[in-house]
Chain A
């Protein structure tokens, strides 16, 4: 099967291959840079549009750069009625939901990784199978549940369920990570009289910071982006989160029917920037974590 090459044959071949490789690299960089530019265009376009004065929003032909830079647009955004509420609501709902997700899925991961109990295999199978259950299927009963509990149009449904085990992905991710930590450490702590919760919080968790960070970041992004659930639960605009607030703004006509796309662009930028900052802070962990868990959220 393998070709038998003479020495001279091989050196000619490798020189040609080397030249081919050089041009190959060159082309590959070209493709990568081209793709990067195409993927970045929407960011630049919206960023530039968010600095345009209102009369430049609907120019024909459209201009790339604002002729007059208006950073005031960003101040105007905060003058949009209720926008500060939306920011506040999103921040606190996201943080509380994220803490709940990370903490309770860590408990679940710990249970699967460190304890033997009847039905563990079946429970683990059930846990994993919920990954394939479409959210939409249970949407209506969950809505009716919150109706019965009197929690419609409150933030409770956006926080409370995430204190019950978080998500199967995260339980799985924690389990995988915990299983790489030697049991000897648990045993040593047990001899020192530590309880199981102590072992988790004082021994295992400090060693699992990459997993904790990954889950926290992925969960934060998922809660921050969450759309359909806040949409059906919340009615009062003061209670809206950014995701549904921005949409609410987009479908509410402005007072003088003037285009407000520059404000919409500024809002989109404001909603995106925290996620990007978070990503850069945790990139190291996240890339590995996403790969481990499979998908976001």
Chain B
């Protein structure tokens, strides 16, 4: 009985801010709604708009030409970012797990970028990556000039259609390789029994072989954890693209979350944006389920005989 009392705020909060809105989003996704007028039931029209399957002669059903491109951009970004973030965080964690002197200092330094508020980090990087006045392009030019006598002009970073997503990846990696992912890996690594490494060393396993055959299998549950949360987080990317590039240049960073935001809060298409959100939810659900399904092939849980 008392349990319910102490849990009451959470139960209420769940109903008001999670379950209720979830249900409302499903209902809204079948309506046209712009706040000014009461919601109008339109069936599956919102979903037809996404895939360009509008019924002939319908005036209200307009194909959303940005639906597939925004999905593709989001996928492109996640495919670049997530593996690099995971490998990077694992590498820094392995480095910090070597028992070096001053590990605590290194860990703190590696973690600081992760603490930087996203708004601040975007402005700091926009300035570092400024095509003309930025530090990074200056270094590229100076180094190439001094090595070859021929100065290389650096990319336009956030300003180029080709380089915008890689620039966002770079900024995100700066915060990620020493961030939470690294701390979680570090905890995982500390749980690997030392005897396993000793046994592998006696068997003549080199550095790489010990990493690939002892470390990776032993911490595979941790890798899965970081992978699942990493993908869910990356697919929701919004603030970085919104602040750094506002979806541009030429829609190069028009991520799906940005697409939902624009439809809802710029075009006041709350019904259509809800439909987008529901599709987004289903996509993330499928990817997560797939992730767990595939993980059976490579995740090794402790105590299990392979």
Considering the complex, which residues of chain B in the window 14-51 have a beta carbon less than 8 Å from any beta carbon of chain A? 14, 16-18, 20-22, 24-25, 28, 35
Query: Which residues of the other chain, A, contact B28 by a CB distance below 8 angstroms?
Result: 140-141
Q: Which of A43, A164, A261 contacts B9 (CB 8 A)?
A: A164
B243–A247 contact, CB under 8 A? yes
- Report the minimal beta-carbon distance from A111 to chain B, rounded to whole angstroms: 4
Query: Which residues of the other chain, B, contact A231 by a CB distance below 8 angstroms?
Result: 242
Q: Which of A120, A133, A140, A261 contacts B127 (CB 8 A)?
A: A261
- Report the minimal beta-carbon distance from B3 to chain A, rounded to whole angstroms: 3
Q: A141-B25, A228-B261 are in contact. Are A123 and B9 (CB under 8 A)?
A: no
B18–A117 contact, CB under 8 A? no
Q: A39-B113, A140-B273, A221-B115 are in contact. Are A196 and B6 (CB under 8 A)?
A: yes
A141–B235 contact, CB under 8 A? no
User: Measured between alpha carbons, how far is A49 from B128 in the docked complex, in Å?
Assistant: 10
A145–B21 contact, CB under 8 A? yes
Interface window among B56-64, B116-124, B158-166: B116-124
**Is A130 an interface residue when CB atoms closer than 8 A count as contact?**
yes
**Is A62 an interface residue when CB atoms closer than 8 A count as contact?**
yes
Interface size of A in residues (CB-CB distance below 8 Å): 95
Interface window among A23-31, A69-77, A208-216: A23-31
Query: Which residues of the other chain, B, contact A140 by a CB distance below 8 angstroms?
Result: 21, 25, 28, 260, 264, 270, 273-274, 277
Q: What are the 3 A-B residue pairs with the smallest beta carbon separation, nearest first? A: A164-B13, A165-B10, A115-B3
Residues of A within 8 A of B (CB): 1-3, 25, 28-29, 31-32, 35-36, 39-43, 45-46, 49, 57-62, 64, 104-105, 107-108, 110-112, 114-117, 120, 123, 126-127, 130, 132-145, 147, 161, 163-166, 171, 196, 200, 221, 224-225, 227-228, 231-232, 242-244, 246-247, 250, 261, 264-265, 267-269, 271-272, 275-276, 279, 283, 287, 290-291, 294-296
Beyond A140-B270, A296-B179, 8 additional contacts (C-beta under 8 Å) are A32-B100, A40-B109, A46-B128, A200-B6, A221-B115, A228-B238, A244-B119, A291-B184
Residues of B within 8 A of A (CB): 1-7, 9-14, 16-18, 20-22, 24-25, 28, 35, 92, 95-96, 98, 100, 106-121, 123-125, 127-128, 132-135, 138, 141-142, 174, 178-180, 183-184, 186-187, 199, 202-204, 225, 228-229, 232-233, 235-236, 238-239, 242-243, 257, 260-261, 264-265, 270, 273-274, 277-278, 280-281, 284, 288
